[in-house]
Each structure stands twice: as C-alpha cells, then as structure tokens.
A and B are shown apart, each in its own frame.
Chain A
Amino acid sequence: MHVADIMRTDLKTISAEATVADAVAALALARVSAMPVLDRHGRAVGICTTRDVLLAESRCENPDARERLFETTLVLEIMTSWPETIAPDADLRAAARKMLDHGVQRLFVSDGGELVGVVSQTDIVDAVAAARI
C-alpha cells in the first residue's frame, strides 16, 4: 500500500503573518494538530503545531509576556521549519519509518515540490485496524 492510497488532500493552511491567537483559533476550529504555514506567495515555509504554541506559551513568565505572544507574535516566529516530506508513491512502511525517525505525527506529501496532501499516524493506525496492512 502507498501513501497516496490513504493520504488526506483537504489541507488547512495558515499565513506566516497570522498571529499566534489566529493560529490557536484555526487549529482548534479545524481540529488538527498541525497546519502548513504559507508565505505571501503561497509557498509552504513551515508548519505550525499545537506543540509549537504550547511550548511558546510555557516559556512565557508572566501574563504580559503571554499577551504579547498571543496578540503580536507572528506564526513565523514560533513555527517549525518546513519538515521532511514524502512522495505519494512511497510505501506505507517507509512513511511509518520516516515519521518515527523524525519524531513527527504526520508527513506532508509532496509531488515534485507541490504540496498535495498529508498522511498521519492515525491514517496508518486506521489501515492497520482495517487489516489493510
């Protein structure tokens, strides 16, 4: 089985110039733990994860610092740099290994430089549960 067989293609993205408050709202609304971050030209420059937000938040020493983080810090400043991607025709086991090697919950799927989908640990567990692996 290949990545393309189980990947999701309905990607939610966020602008690099959105605030952390915008990112919190967007992640909560979409019920996802990570979103690709796009620059003003629509290029993927990083990902913003719930972990990035909570890590930045846990480093704020007082309510003022927290408020600055929320209202004036941009996604660009807290995001994780653009991660390793995987090709749509890669084998699922290769995707599983890559997730573990890089310690990530999901891999974005790139076809010749174009972002075409995302495959998560949950998608792999789903394939296992359905005994498709």
Chain B
Amino acid sequence: MKVAELMQTNLKTVGANDTVTDAMVTMADSHVSGLPVVDGGEHLVGVISTTDILTAMAEADDAPARARLLDQTMVRELMTARSVTVSPDADVLEAARQMLYLDIHRIFVEYEGRLVGVLSQTDIVGAVAAAKF
C-alpha cells in the first residue's frame, strides 16, 4: 500500500514566528498532537508537538519562566527543525518503520518540495481496523 492511499490532505499548520500559545490553541481546536511549521512561503520548516511544549514546560521553573515560554517564545525556537518527510509513492510499511525509528507519531508527505499531506500512526491503525493489512 502506498502512502498516498492512507495520508490525510487537509492539514492544519502553524507559522514559525507564531507563539507557543498560538500552536497550543490550534492543536486543541483541531484535536491533533502535532503541527507542521511553515515559513511565510508555506514551505515545511519543522514540526511542533504537544510533547515539545510539555517538555519545555516541565523545564520552566516559575511563573515568569512559564509566561515567557507561552507568550513570548516563538514556535521556531521549540520545533524540531527540518523534519523527515516521505514521498506519496513510498510504501506504508516503510513509512511505519521510519516513524518507529524516529519515535514520531506522524510523518509529513512532500512532493516536489511541497507539503501535500501527513500520514499518522492513527491512519495506520485505521487500516488495521479496516483489515487492509
């Protein structure tokens, strides 16, 4: 099975210069645990996840540090830069192995330098549930 057959194409994104609070609100509203980070030209520059935010929060010791983190820190400071991507023609099993190896829940799909979709562990679980494997 190809990545293109399982990937989702309606992507929510966050800007590299948005605040951590902006990212948190978008994740909460769209019920996702990670967002692709794009620059002004809508090119993928990284990924930010609830784990990235929670880890930074655990390291902020007091109220001013937390306020700085949430209201003044930009997404690009916390994100994982240049995330690994996969081609829509790649095999789903290969994408699954990549996710496990990199310890990530989703892998973005790029075609000719453009972000065209995302394949998540949930999409693979969906295929198992539908007995597609």
- Seen from chain A, the residues whose Cβ lies within 8 Å of a Cβ on chain B are 24-25, 27-29, 31, 33, 50-51, 53-55, 57-58, 63-64, 66-67, 70, 92-93, 96-97, 99-100, 103, 105, 121-122, 124-126, 128-129, 131, 133
Contacts and interface: CB of A to CB of B under 8 A. Distances in A.
Contact of A33 (B33, B67, B122, B126): B33
Most buried by A among B55, B96, B124, B128: B128
A58 B128 contact: no
Contacts of A31: 51
A128 B96 contact: yes
B121 A122 contact: yes
| 6 tightest Cβ-Cβ pairs between the two chains A and B | A28-B58, A96-B129, A129-B96, A97-B129, A96-B128, A121-B121
B34 to A, nearest CB: 11
Contact of A54 (B50, B64, B124): B50
Contact of A28 (B31, B54, B128): B54
Interface stretch (B10-18, B81-89, B97-105): B97-105
Query: Which of B28, B66, B99, B129 has the largest number of chain A CB atoms within 10 A?
Result: B129
A93 B24 contact: no
Interface string B101-129: 00001000000000000000110111111
B108 to A, nearest CB: 16
A53 B58 CA distance: 11
Chain B interface residue bracket vs A: 35 or more
B24 A124 contact: no
Contacts of A93: 128-129, 131
Contacts of B33: 33, 50-51, 105
B125 to A, nearest CB: 5
A99 B121 CA distance: 12
A50 B52 CA distance: 11
9 contacts: A24-B54, A27-B54, A50-B33, A63-B67, A66-B66, A93-B131, A96-B126, A124-B124, A125-B124
Given A33-B51, A133-B128, 12 more contacts: A24-B57, A51-B28, A53-B54, A57-B57, A66-B63, A66-B70, A93-B128, A96-B125, A99-B125, A121-B125, A125-B125, A129-B100
A96 B128 CA distance: 7
Contact of A67 (B63, B93, B122): B63
Given A50-B50, A54-B28, A124 B70 contact: no
Contact of A125 (B24, B100, B129): B100
